[in-house]
Amino acid sequence: MIELDDFSVGFGAGTALRGATLTIRKGDRLGIVGESGSGKTMLALCLMGMAPDSAQLSGRLSIDGRDMAGASEAQWQVLRARRIAMIFQEPMAALNPLRRVGDTVMEPMRVHEGLSRGAAHKRALALFEEVGIPEPVDRMRQFPHELSGGQRQRVLIALALACDPVMLIADEPTTALDANVALRITELLVRLARERGMALVFITHDLAAVARTTQDIVVMYGGDMVERGATADVLAAPMHPYTRGLLAARPDPTVPARNADGTRRRLPSLPGSVPPLNALPQGCRFAGRCPVELAHCATRRPATRLVADNRQAACHLLEEQAR
Amino acid sequence: MTRRLPTNFVIGGVLVALVVGTAALSLVWTPHNSTQMAISNKFAAPSSTYWLGTDQLGRDVVSQLMAGARNSMSVALIAVLMGGSIGVALGLMASAIGGWVEDGVMRLADLGFAFPALLFAIMLAAVFGPSLGNAVLAIAFINIPVFARVTRGAANQIWTLDYVSAARAAGMNRFAISRDHILPNIGAVIIVQATIEFAVAILAEAALSYLGLGAQPPAASWGRLLSEAQTLMYLAPQLAIYPGLCIVVAVLGFGLLGDGLRDMSEPRLRRER
Amino acid sequence: MGYFIFRRTVGFILTLLAVSVVVFAVMNVLPGDPALTILGMDATEDALAALREQLGLNEPLLTRYVNWVWNALQGDFGISHSFRVPVADLIVERLLMTVSLAVAGMVVTLILALGLGIGAAAQHRKFGDWGVMFLSQLGIAVPAFWLSMLLVLLFAVNLRWLPPGGFAGWSDPMAAIRSLILPTIALAVVQSAVLARVTRSAALEVMRQDFVRTARASGLSRRRVLWRHVLPNAMVPIVTIVGMQFASLVTGTIVIENVFYLPGLGRLIFQSISNRDLPTVQALVMLFAAIVVTANFVVDLLYVVIDPRLKARA
């Protein structure tokens, strides 16, 4: 359904995405994991045709067999909502504050499918029920600021499903939510994907969420896809030093995500952070932060190796071991 | 580190220098006497003697425009200085004392916004008869609430800073703090506002003089020249062009200069204006 | 919300009262003898005394102020000295002219400013954006009365498409509309210069927000996103400026009426100044100031209508 082949996104001198190769089929549940700045959101925006105007795209991006890398805004508008839909991180900011949420959810149905107000209302009501919003008739008349964070995210999911897309991209859909609510939202996404036979691309830095949600996983760092495979395999036996670092830095699930005063607890993390785009090393992007770095890592780019069936990683260390 | 000056600052500066320079030059020299009439020589075409020709009474257009620049600059300067100093004083007082004094000053400022300069000038003209002095008073008056608000807003921010608290702890009284610490620190904000209000004042003076509420004949004012030209539009349309261009150049100049100064003093705000 | 409206209404009434005090004070307390102003320097003492009596100038100031306000509330603004008819009648006769011009000016201003401002924001950092910003910078610097003269010079003197001024009344609607075209353009261009800038920067601010991305992700066209999602959210700053612009709309209407010899309230106020007709001037200044204050009051109430979030807070 979606194929990326050697797909890159550049901004002037910097590269936000380097040679991404990826295939997503109907019903796949794929996790994309990495710190902020790893290029995962840029990848998602490219799949929606919503990369910033200043981005230079290269390589192949094909959707439903058509090459969309150079597609016009009008061509993308046909795909959005009807083939591919997306939900975002901050459910408060992602909803138009001046509109009743029911009207927001009904808008794409009316615009794309020419539904009458009555028909759209009926379908929106069914969607609200499907995503588990209680008292949907009343909720539809409310404004975003009158709903809780979890309910807003459910509204956004309903909006994304408005025109029955075959793929849903969820960009950190649980980051802004309480742990408890986040858990239920991920359960909801899995259920919807299963019931509708819809592909789900789940973007997050929360490894626990990815383990619950997805079958396959891609780990990204600095615009590169550094490791991929079945989610269970990768999390059980990570091959790339970055994936190992991420796993080691995983928060203890018994500790709540928020402190007693309600502020978000800082997650334990890898030392340092992803350097800005134009300061990334030319070889392996992880060079400089890697605990097992070799002399040529910073200058030479590691090839992506097929390590086992459905299991890939890009690290010089793997080549050394293979030799 | 050398930083490039903002474009609007450069263009504005050049235009302002042109207008102020012309006004200053007119104090000591104009090609002809701007009020000297020579009926025999009316509506003369542009020539080496009369660069832009003469008007319906044979007066030299260039000399009149130069005198008009002087008039505009002096009216704007006096009005902004008068209104600005009263407004700044009120704003400093409101910020220093706070409480009901601050509320009262701000309510008065709100009240001032209900009166555009024109309405105030109309009242003064009705009571005292129209004159340039009344126009200056009216323009000065509308500057008071503008400066009071800006000053109070900027001053309130400075009052929260540590070194002001230190000065208070050291026993300095509020008047002395306002004078020694607050005023110097909000100087940039006030100068930016003054530059922009200068442009507003030039426009207001031109409108009031055009309507007969400002400069009276034979004093040269761009606005008054335009009201004379309006009756002659079929005969001498060119007379309706030059004074208007002068107004645009002067207003544009001070407006751009003000924007440029603001961009330089608040680089944060520069991005999207 | 009820409390918010109540507080704003009280504030509005107090402001109107304060405005009336200022108008009355400037027109009556400042040194100067209205009787002398009206009759001129060579009037006899007897005539002056009689006129003072007639104008009620011998009453205490406070009594005169209360009488003025009380009568004004009942629609009685006194008798015009120059026209010898009630000021209220003069106002009613000319109100339609002024309101037509102001409303037409405001409507064209909104169309121009919202269109150009949103268009510039959509073209951010491209040629269209640059052009709108340049034009609006120029529009702010051009005096409305000079723009009027240029329009007359071009469309009336040279092309002879439209009348240079005057107004023959509404009995011939086509002629009336033709006479209003140039005044409306002159009024609207200057007003919309400021408003287009505000619209542009407000729209750019909104376009950075996440829900705009959501709307695009829903497959909505850029045009629909701009007009249905961005513009409504940009309305709060826009409405604020529209409210503040009422002061300049009032000024502009007065000026434009005088440029085009339109028989409205702005023309009346200038005739009254020439005629030393103080009651008329006083009534008109009060009326114009009241319009400005009322516009700001309406804007305060509009915020609540525009933004449902304020309902909860207000």
Domain ranges in chain C are 2-73, 87-313
Q: Look at residue C23 and tell me whether its pLDDT is greater than 50.
A: yes
Is A48 an interface residue toward C (CB < 8 Å)?
Answer: yes
- List, in sequence order, every residue forming a beta bridge with A299; answer none if it has no partner: none
Cα radius of gyration rounded to whole Å, chain A: 20
Q: Which residues of B touch C273 (CB under 8 A)?
A: 122, 125-126, 130, 213
Give the whole-angstrom CA distance, residue C85 versus residue C100: 24
Of B116, B211, B226, the CB nearest to C258: B211
The model's pLDDT over A258-298, given as tens digits with 9 standing for 90+, comes to 555 555 544 445 667 777 777 788 888 888 788 888 888 88
Angle value at C-alpha B125, between C83 and C287, nearest 5 degrees: 60
Is A206 a domain residue? yes
Given a contact cutoff of 8 angstroms between Cβ atoms, the answer to whether A272 and A285 are in contact is no
* pLDDT band with cut points at 50, 70 and 90 for residue C303: confident
Would you call A201 helix, strand, or coil by DSSP?
strand
Instruction: Please indicate whether residue B252 or residue C32 has the higher confidence score (pLDDT).
Output: B252
Residue B183 CB contacts under 8 Å (≥ 6 apart), including other chains: B88, B92
Per-residue pLDDT of B170-222, as tens digits, reads: 888 888 888 888 888 888 899 999 999 999 999 999 999 999 888 888 788 99
Residue of chain C with shortest Cα separation from A82? C219
User: Are the CB atoms for B50 and B61 separated by under 8 Å?
Assistant: yes
C-alpha–C-alpha distance, residues A214 and A230, integer Å = 9
Name the neighbours of A, counting chains with at least 3 Cβ pairs within 8 A: C
- More confident: B269 or B106: B106
Two tokens at C152? Answer: 């007359």
* C-alpha pair distances (Å), C188 with each of A253, A314, C143, C153: 63, 64, 12, 18
The domain in which residue A71 lies consists of 1-83+167-178+199-250+266-323
Tokens of C300: 């305060």
C216 in contact with chain A, both atoms CB, cutoff 8 A: yes
Number of other residues whose CB lies within 10 A of the CB of residue B167: 18
Task: Give me chain B's average pLDDT, please.
Answer: 85
CB spacing of C214 vs A97 below 8 angstroms? no
Mark yes or no for CB contact A108/C232 under 8 Å: no
Mean pLDDT on A238-242: 88
Q: What domains lie within chain B, and their CATH numbers? A: 74-272 (1.10.3720.10)
| A235 domain residue, yes or no | yes
To the nearest whole angstrom, how far is the Cα of C81 from the nearest Cα of chain B? 13
Domain total of chain A: 1
Predicted confidence (pLDDT) at residue A252 exceeds the cutoff of 60: no
- Given B126, B207, B212, which is nearest C281 (Cβ)? B126
Inter-chain residue contact C141 with B206, CB threshold 8 Å:
no
- What's the rounded mean pLDDT across residues B124-140? 89
pLDDT of residue C297: 87
Question: Which CATH number covers residue A12?
Answer: 3.40.50.300
% of chain C with per-residue pLDDT over 70? 95
pTM: 0.82
* Chain A contact set for C210 (CB, 8 A): 88-90, 93-94
Helices (DSSP H) in chain A: which residue ranges? 40-47, 73-79, 101-113, 117-130, 136-140, 149-160, 179-196, 207-213, 231-236, 241-248, 316-322
A258-262, A303-307, B12-16, B181-185: segment of lowest average pLDDT: A258-262
Q: Which of B119, B210, B226 sits opposite C285 (nearest CB)?
A: B119
Residue A65 located in a structural domain? yes
φ, ψ of residue C277 in degrees (nearest 5)? -90, 80
* Cβ pair A47, A169 in contact under 8 A: yes
pLDDT above 60: residue C109 = yes
Per CB-CB distance under 8 Å, the chain A contacts of C220 are: 77, 107-108, 111
| Set of chain C residues whose Cβ sits within 8 Å of the Cβ of B199 | 141
Q: Which residues contact A241 (CB under 8 A, 6 or more apart)?
A: A286, A290, A291, A292, A315, A317
pLDDT tops 70 at residue A253: no
User: How much is the average pLDDT of C111-140?
Assistant: 90
**Mean pLDDT along residues C104-111:** 93
Residue A270 domain-assigned? yes
Give partners of B (≥3 CB pairs < 8 A): C
Reported as a pLDDT band with limits 50, 70 and 90, residue B270 is: very low
pLDDT digits (tens, 9 = 90+) for A166-206: 999 999 888 878 888 888 999 999 999 999 999 999 998 88
- Cβ atoms of C176 and C263 within 8 Å: the answer is no
Confirm if B206 and B221 have CB atoms less than 8 A apart. yes
Is residue A315 domain-resident? yes
Residue pLDDT, tens place only, C203-258: 999 998 899 999 999 989 989 999 999 999 998 888 888 888 888 888 899 999 99
CATH architecture, domain defined by C87-313: Orthogonal Bundle (1.10)
DSSP-based three-state secondary structure for A226: strand
Instruction: With beta carbons under 8 A apart, name residues in chain B contacting C149.
Output: 226, 229-230, 233, 240, 244
Q: Residues 163-202, chain A: which have Cβ within 8 Å of C?
A: 163
Task: Give the span between the Cα atoms of B180 and A104, in whole angstroms.
Answer: 56
Indicate the helix (H) or strand (E) that contains A308. Answer: strand A305-308
Nearest CB to C153; choose among B212, B223, B240 = B240
- Lowest average pLDDT, out of A110-124, A147-161, A240-254, goes to A240-254
Distance from CA of B176 to the nearest CA of C (A): 33
Contacts of C308 in chain A (CB under 8 A): 97-98, 143, 145
Among partner residues C30, C164, C292, which is closest to B127 by beta-carbon distance?
A: C30
C-alpha torsion sign, points C253, C258, C262, C267: positive
- Tell me the mean pLDDT in the region B226-255: 87
Which residues in chain B are contacts of C187 at CB distance < 8 A?
A: none
pLDDT score at C101: 93
Nearest CB among B116, B210, B272 relative to C248 is that of B116
* C283/A258: higher pLDDT: C283
Per-residue pLDDT at C277: 84
- The neighbour count for residue C42, using CB atoms within 10 Å, is 5
pLDDT tens readout for residues A100-147: 999 999 999 999 999 999 999 999 999 999 999 999 999 999 999 899
Mean pLDDT of the residues in chain A: 85
pLDDT tens for C172-211 read 888 888 999 999 999 999 889 989 999 999 999 999 889 9
pLDDT at B94 (0 to 100):
92
Give pLDDT, residue C57: 73
Type of residue found at A102: G
Instruction: Give me the pLDDT at residue B202, please.
Output: 94
Edge-first strand order for the sheet with A311-313 is A84-87, A167-171, A199-204, A29-33, A216-221, A224-230, A311-313, A305-308
